[in-house]
Structure 1
């Protein structure tokens, strides 16, 4: 019961962050929505079903769920916006070890995104 509650809270927070990412250019949407889908699948069937059929997110979530791939344009956007977000964070943070950690996380994220298969963008 506690595990489901924790996953539900994490899913809701992730969904809020993902929705904010739709409107805020430096906040990535896709990772937060994927995390929300993961959490909802294990905590709330109703929220998971709602998220998987939502017009804003259904295409990307279903592509990931069924094909383990994302659209080329979405992949590029995620890479560019994540890079910009990390670059701003690295520029603002005064501690060298934090800058190195952020840079390492960026490299890992970009490597992961690069390894994800692409789907052709649909017009």
Structure 2
């Protein structure tokens, strides 16, 4: 089979396989974004699961796969404001920070009360501390 021949021996137009790969990649970005929006909505309802981080990731996926879905997410009255605030100023609202800290503390407590080996508790505590440091150092209000 020559370079520009398909499996049936027919010549394929130059760039056809690249275009097909682009369509597959676009569909994958959209699918990932939709899954992340679903996780984000669940996270907004459940107190121990973060929602905003999934919505931020969904917006990034939509930016690569569907500008229309990205625009929908960013302009959504309930889901969009935190994503826009993050993109514009790196803001994590104070309420979200408090919920994140509570969820992180709960994670450490659960691991501490389980029969996990000490290395698991130390690893969990170190990762939670790093996450808490990152969240805590983000601004809580937009720059004026």
Asked if the contact 1:27–1:82 (Cα under 8 Å) also holds between the matched residues in 2, the reply is: no
Q: Which residue of 2 aligns with 1:63?
A: 85
The reply on whether 1:75 has 2:103 as its aligned counterpart is no
Gaps of 5+ in 1: none
The structure with the greater share of residues assigned to helix is 1
Gaps of 5+ in 2: 1-21
Write out aligned runs for 1:25-40 (5 A). Answer: 25-40=47-62
In 2: Cα distance, 1:35 partner to 1:61 partner:
9
Residues 25 and 44 of structure 1: is their aligned pair in 2 closer, same or farther, counting only changes over 3 Å?
A: same
Asked if the contact 1:90–1:102 (Cα under 8 Å) also holds between the matched residues in 2, the reply is: no
In 1: Cα distance, 2:70 partner to 2:54 partner:
14
Asked if the contact 2:111–2:120 (Cα under 8 Å) also holds between the matched residues in 1, the reply is: no
Q: Choose 84-93 or 34-43, whichever is displaced more.
A: 84-93
Write out aligned runs for 1:1-123 (5 A). Answer: 1=22, 2-89=24-111, 91-92=113-114, 94-119=116-141
Q: Considering Cα pairs closer than 8 Å and 6+ residues apart, tell me whether 1 or 2 has the greater RCO.
A: 1
- TM-score in terms of structure 1 length: 0.79
CA RMSD of aligned residues (A): 2.3
In 2: Cα distance, 1:115 partner to 1:86 partner:
20
In 2: Cα distance, 1:92 partner to 1:55 partner:
40
